[in-house]
Amino acid sequence: MALPSGLDQSAIPPDFEKPFPPLVRASTVPALSAIDRPHRSDRLHLAPEDAYGSLSPPRWSTGFDGRGNGAGADLRPSRIQRNDTSRSRSRRRKRFQKLLWVKQSYPDNYTDQATFLEKLQRNPRVRPYDFWPLVADSTVILQHVCSVIIFIVCFVGIFQERVGPVSVVGWGSFASFLGWLLWERWVTQETRGGTADDDARARIMRGGHAYKEFHPPRRQDSSGPGQPLLNTSTGTTPSTSNLASAASSTANLVPEHQPPPLLLPTSGGNNTNNGSGSLLVPAHSRSVSSLNSVASHASATTPTSTQTRPTPEGAGSPTAPPIARGNRTYARVGSIKSAMLIYFTLLGLSPILKSLTRSTSSDSIWSMSFWLLAINIFFFDYSGSRVGIGGGRGGHGHKKTMPVASLSTNAALMASTVLASRLPSTGQVFSLTLFSLEVFGLFPVFRQYARRRSWRYHVALTVLLVLGAGGGMGIILGDETGWQPWKRGLLGMVVGCLVSALAMGGCSWWLIGLQKYKNEIYGPWDPARPIIISRRQWDDE
Amino acid sequence: MAPTYNIAMVSDFFFPQPGGVESHIYQLSTKLRDRGHKVIIITHAYDGRTGVRYLTNGLKVYHVPFLVIYRSASFPTVFSFFPIFRNIILRERIDIVHGHASLSSLCHEAILHARTMGLRTVYTDHSLFGFADSGSIFANKLLKFSLSDVDHVICVSHTCKENTVLRASLDPLMVSVIPNAVVAENFMPLSYPIEPSSSLFGRHPPPARPLGPHDMITIVVISRLFYNKGTDLLTAAIPRILENHPNTRFIIAGDGPKAIDLEQMIEQNVLQDRVEMLGPVRHEQVRDVMVRGHIYLHPSLTEAFGTVIVEAASCGLYVVCTQVGGIPEVLPSHMTVFARPEEDDLVAAAGRAIAAMRANKVRTELFHEQVKSMYSWTNVAMRTERVYNGISGALGEADFYGYDAPAANGAGSLSATRGRSGVQSFALIDRLKRYYGCGIWAGKLFCICVIVDYLIFLVLELWFPREKIDICPDWPRKERKESTAPASG
């Protein structure tokens, strides 16, 4: 066939000994693009023209840059003009090509102003923030900070014996129970709606590999008759280990006592064939201990859903609301059971906790709990990817979740433990620990769910939390003013609202203001991001 | 008669460790010796390699004892290398210090000390770095430090040049692009006549047996199986390519953490008879693996030059590669099929390549001669020599940097820092000026480093006077070969 065009050029013999015609300085300086000009003003950041501009060592500071500034108003015309001069030269010379295999008629350090850095992109992926969405998103942080404050307020109240420990834990448990009921209703609704349309369900299970089940790898069904068998055998191993590690990484007691019901809709909705299998296994394992129940449960259900993958009709049209409902009742019973188990475990542990740090001075405890709560706030997973199978931390979607998400919960529980050990009586210790489990373990799950469910719930919850935190702070702080507690509480609420509004607005405004310092440089030297459609299960690192 | 130089190549990476930088240094040094220069190599001590060694062709290698931290990169102690470095430089009467590889701290230190001692320095960059992650930021700052006061920089591709210019804030004119090369004799196609009977027909070997529509087409992949080599893309693409094209098979050589993914893919799709995994192969065996195939697939995600695709083309393989980094510059379009780094596009490109091979549209038997004329180490050595001439003043400033009359107006102030005839001034205050521009804090820190380095230099001059250091006798120099001679080996 016709030989491509490159051949004739490559046949030129290498003659590098002959001197090159002298370069023209103007032709070797790359053209400054007019778009980049406004950024020259901030000297703190690297801009492409700074590569040879005045930021570089002072050798060009007067020579080139001064001239560039003189022609700064009309850079484009001057560039065109230069191109004209170089065009007249190009009759003698071949055009410069950005290729290595061509024997160029230019010296090696020639810099072609037309092609040099032509593929440079600055801030290509920057999405400018809008003020109000940013404020709305920051409510998640506000909610968490407020719930931490409420916890501290309750501790102070118990510690100063202002509030009865039983009332704290009673109201807390009552609220948790109400939240649980509400959440149960939502889950049931979503499961029922999910049988109708896949989208809603995909939204529920956005976190883990449940999502992947709805987009099975493309080549899955077409690779031969031996496929399903192999698939089950290889597919089971990684998912089990993932979930086991996920569960063990979140090995604190209670946050996992609610996820089982979260897991169940997936298995119930998906595997019509293996529903009985998934019913049997957890029943066996849960009776062992409530701590391991989640791990074994998760690893028991997900492999079965992996097995259903090769049969697309099983996953595509789940017609099993009865089984799902049966699973729900079962899950409810399970939740209550593990709640009771944790309740009694805590009751038994409280005397030990009470004397845990008796030999430590209170100052160390205060500073330690401060740092632990700070860790909790800073490392908390605000992205909301926790709702889903395996908590979303099991390795999939590893780009989105923080690797230290479980650190946050652990830190908070440790803070509550050391704080509780300061309390004098067993009942107080028990109440505070249980309350902390509710605040740090269950409440975030509920908050995320409420936010996903409806924006109105989210706002209402935020307002309630801000009012509660502000009022509580007012009550415990303004003790020496001699005011009535309700007056102080009211004042605290007002101040809390003001402070949170100011903080949210100010921080959002600040973040938007900081955007102008953003200077990302992308080019062909960056590692490409591969686009892989049929990403496999084991592909986590 | 062009001047000859005493050159010291400095890099952490050298034989016995295999790799691209290592063979680059070796080949370049050998060819420079052939051109009458004296070349020594300074690297750190490897297991079982300490002291001074001679390689073939009288190439002298100094293995300096040094603490190795990670993947044979030495620990960055800014000054501790200076005494022994000065000793070697004085013993060997070195004029030019040429450092290689941006991750080699030995190279950066050598450039700093060489400038303090008043030597010319060249630096060759072999890799690409981004600007986003923390490791890159650190490496870029380090690079900026050592390249603030370098005489010339060599990059292996135009993309690499752009990257280096941005990373180290260099003047583009002091960055040359000199590609890698291959030893074409080591990468011959299978059917290539060993001794061309006559030069007339030697350039046009007979066409290989045409591929029938049902002949097996073998696709070869040789790469370390890492993420940035695109093994994920490969894992996703192989089943689809094999499914779309019967009578194709894969041979995969190389090892790495992603090998397990490939094996799982093979098991899951039951492709054991169509995908052969060879495991790690030595560099000498690469050619033997390559000639078993018809198409070379290179799914890398980042690559400064991509020597391996040149080697594959030299073996007469049609190359399918991702269009990343410097790869699009390397081979002409009739040897390659480019793909975007996406699974779909890679599958499509492989399909195009297979179709072209089946239609016998690709004259792969001509590739070897073409690659041989494009890339040779002799050529690389000649171009590097021009850089040496330029920085040492043998080549005029106008010839090397190309100033014209209007820029000469500003050149009055330029030459203050640049010194005579286009070379950078060695005066300490000028060097400090260059370092000071590196950044608000970094500039001052770098200045302190340079001053301390200078003080150490003075102390060493007093403590170990130059006169007390023995001059080592040179290996007999070669007569300079003329460039018209054909490239030999």
Q: Can you spell out the DSSP letters for A310-344?
A: T-HHHHHS---HHHHHHHHHHHHHHHHHHHHHHHH
Phi, psi of A98 (to 5 degrees): -85, 60
> Which chain A residue lies closest to B381 (C-alpha atoms)?
A16
pLDDT at A69 over 90: no
Higher pLDDT, B252 or A92: B252
Higher pLDDT, A301 or B182: B182
Chain A contact present for B179, CB below 8 A? yes
| B261 to A539: CB separation less than 8 angstroms, yes or no | yes
Residue A182 is predicted with a pLDDT of 87
Chain A contact present for B173, CB below 8 A? yes
Residue A120 pLDDT class (50, 70, 90 cuts): confident
Residue B312 is predicted with a pLDDT of 92
pLDDT at B450 over 80: yes
Residue A211 is predicted with a pLDDT of 38
Higher pLDDT, B489 or B444: B444
Interface of B with A in 309-328 (CB under 8 A): 322, 324-326
| A539 to B130: CB separation less than 8 angstroms, yes or no | no
Choose the mutation target among A78, A101, A538 for the interface with B, i.e. most B CBs under 10 Å: A101
Residue A161 is predicted with a pLDDT of 84
Please choose, from the candidates A13, A16, A51, the residue with its C-alpha nearest in 3D space to the C-alpha of residue A32: A51
- CB nearest B334 (choices: A3, A116, A531): A3
d(CA B194, CA B191): 9
Please choose, from the candidates B59, B24, B90, the residue with its C-alpha nearest in 3D space to the C-alpha of residue B384: B24
d(CA A188, CA A177): 16
Interface of A with B in 47-86 (CB under 8 A): 48, 50-52, 55-60, 62-64, 66-67
Q: What is the average per-residue pLDDT within A96-122?
A: 83
Determine contact, residues A275/A323, Cβ cutoff 8 Å: yes
d(CA A302, CA A299): 6
**Pairing mode, if any, of strands A521-522 and A121-122?**
antiparallel
Higher pLDDT, A178 or B211: A178
pLDDT tens, B259-306? 999 999 999 999 999 999 998 888 888 999 999 999 999 999 988 888
What is the residue type of A185? R
Biggest CA–CA distance in chain A, Å, is 99
d(CA A92, CA B163): 31
Chain A contact present for B193, CB below 8 A? no
Give strand ranges (E) for B126-162.
152-155
pLDDT tens, B348-360? 999 999 999 988 8
Residue A280 pLDDT class (50, 70, 90 cuts): very low
DSSP class of residue A438? I
pLDDT at B406 over 50: no
Chain B contact present for A125, CB below 8 A? no
| B232 to A530: CB separation less than 8 angstroms, yes or no | yes
Residue B8 is predicted with a pLDDT of 94
Residue A389 pLDDT class (50, 70, 90 cuts): very low
Residue B136 pLDDT class (50, 70, 90 cuts): confident
What is the residue type of B454? Y
Residue B67 is predicted with a pLDDT of 79
Higher pLDDT, A305 or A109: A109
Q: What is the average per-residue pLDDT within A469-482?
A: 83
Query: How many Cβ atoms are within 10 Å of A456's Cβ, its own excluded?
Result: 9
How is residue B164 written in tokens?
């280096």
pLDDT at A431 over 50: yes
How many CA atoms lie less than 13 Å away from A9 in the CB half-sphere?
Answer: 18
Rg (CA), chain A: 32
Three-class SS state of B122: strand
Determine contact, residues A140/A381, Cβ cutoff 8 Å: no
Please choose, from the candidates B454, B441, B469, B431, the residue with its C-alpha nearest in 3D space to the C-alpha of residue B121: B431
Residue B110 is predicted with a pLDDT of 92
pLDDT at A419 over 50: yes
Residue B402 is predicted with a pLDDT of 67
Determine contact, residues B120/B39, Cβ cutoff 8 Å: no
Residues 6 or more apart whose CB falls under 8 angstroms from that of A100 comprise B157, B158, B177, B179, B305, B326, B329, B330
d(CA A152, CA A134): 28
DSSP class of residue B5? -
Instruction: Write down the ipTM of this complex.
Output: 0.76
pLDDT at A42 over 50: no
| B173 to A109: CB separation less than 8 angstroms, yes or no | yes
Query: How many Cβ atoms are within 10 Å of B126's Cβ, its own excluded?
Result: 25
| B375 to A539: CB separation less than 8 angstroms, yes or no | no
Higher pLDDT, A241 or B76: B76
Q: What is the average per-residue pLDDT within A346-360?
A: 86
Backbone torsion region of residue A217, taken as left when φ is above 0, otherwise alpha when ψ lies between -120 and 50, otherwise beta: beta
Residue A368 is predicted with a pLDDT of 93
DSSP code per residue over B218-280: EEEEES---GGGTHHHHHHHHHHHHHHSSSEEEEEE--STTHHHHHHHHHHHT-TTTEEEEE-
Please choose, from the candidates B401, B408, B306, the residue with its C-alpha nearest in 3D space to the C-alpha of residue A111: B401
pLDDT at A502 over 50: yes
DSSP class of residue A164? -
Q: What is the average per-residue pLDDT within B177-196?
A: 80
Determine contact, residues B287/B311, Cβ cutoff 8 Å: yes
Residue B438 is predicted with a pLDDT of 82
| B179 to A100: CB separation less than 8 angstroms, yes or no | yes
Nearest chain A Cα distance for residue B344, angstroms? 8
Q: What is the average per-residue pLDDT within B440-448?
A: 89
Chain B contact present for A25, CB below 8 A? yes
How is residue A154 written in tokens?
């309750």
d(CA B320, CA B294): 11
Average pLDDT, chain A: 65
Average pLDDT, chain B: 84
d(CA B129, CA B21): 16
Higher pLDDT, A100 or A193: A100
Q: What is the average per-residue pLDDT within A199-208?
A: 42
Rg (CA), chain B: 24
Residue B192 pLDDT class (50, 70, 90 cuts): low
Residue B25 pLDDT class (50, 70, 90 cuts): very high
Provide the terminal-to-terminal Cα distance of chain B, rounded to the nearest Å.
Answer: 24
DSSP code per residue over B55-93: EGGGEEEEEE---EEETTEEP--TTTTHHHHHHHHHHHT
Determine contact, residues A117/B162, Cβ cutoff 8 Å: yes
Determine contact, residues A270/A212, Cβ cutoff 8 Å: no
H-helix or E-strand spanning residue B39: strand B38-44
Q: Which long-range contacts (CB under 8 A, 24 or more apart) does A476-482 make?
A: A476/A153, A476/A156, A476/A157, A476/A160, A476/A162
pLDDT at B437 over 50: yes
d(CA B412, CA B422): 12
Residue A241 pLDDT class (50, 70, 90 cuts): very low
Residue A384 is predicted with a pLDDT of 66
Tell me the range of A59-63, A227-231, A253-257, B13-17 where mean pLDDT is highest: B13-17
d(CA A277, CA A294): 16
Bridge partners of B322, per DSSP, are B339
| A521 to B157: CB separation less than 8 angstroms, yes or no | no
Query: How many Cβ atoms are within 10 Å of A14's Cβ, its own excluded?
Result: 16
Burial class (CB in 10 A: 0-12, 13-18, 19+), A80: exposed
pLDDT at A86 over 90: no
Q: What sign for the dihedral angle of Cα A301, A302, A306, A312?
A: positive
Residue A13 pLDDT class (50, 70, 90 cuts): very low
pLDDT at A148 over 60: yes
- CB nearest A16 (choices: B179, B230, B483): B483
Residues 6 or more apart whose CB falls under 8 angstroms from that of B370 comprise A7, A10, B313, B332, B335
pLDDT at A76 over 90: no
Residues 6 or more apart whose CB falls under 8 angstroms from that of B98 comprise B7, B8, B9, B10, B121, B122, B123, B124
How many A/B residue pairs have CB atoms within 8 Å? 269
Mean pLDDT check: name the lowest of A150-154, A177-181, B24-28, B422-426: B422-426
Residue A366 pLDDT class (50, 70, 90 cuts): very high
Determine contact, residues A63/B414, Cβ cutoff 8 Å: yes
pLDDT at B459 over 90: yes
Please choose, from the candidates B25, B24, B20, the residue with its C-alpha nearest in 3D space to the C-alpha of residue B42: B25
Higher pLDDT, A127 or B420: A127
pLDDT at A63 over 90: no
Higher pLDDT, A533 or B357: B357
d(CA A533, CA B5): 55
d(CA B268, CA B76): 46
Residue A525 is predicted with a pLDDT of 84
Q: What is the average per-residue pLDDT within B320-336?
A: 91
How many CA atoms lie less than 13 Å away from A301 in the CB half-sphere?
Answer: 28
Query: How many Cβ atoms are within 10 Å of A514's Cβ, its own excluded?
Result: 10
| A50 to B169: CB separation less than 8 angstroms, yes or no | yes
Residue B249 pLDDT class (50, 70, 90 cuts): very high
Burial class (CB in 10 A: 0-12, 13-18, 19+), A541: exposed
Residue A515 pLDDT class (50, 70, 90 cuts): confident
d(CA B27, CA B141): 30
pLDDT tens, B198-237? 444 444 555 556 777 788 899 999 998 988 889 999 999 9
Residue B194 is predicted with a pLDDT of 57
DSSP code per residue over B376-426: -HHHHHHHHHHHHHHHHTSS-HHHHT---HHHHHHHHHHHHHH-GGG----
**Pairing mode, if any, of strands B73-74 and B68-70?**
antiparallel
pLDDT at A402 over 50: yes
Higher pLDDT, A208 or A453: A453
Higher pLDDT, B157 or A358: B157
Higher pLDDT, A272 or B201: B201
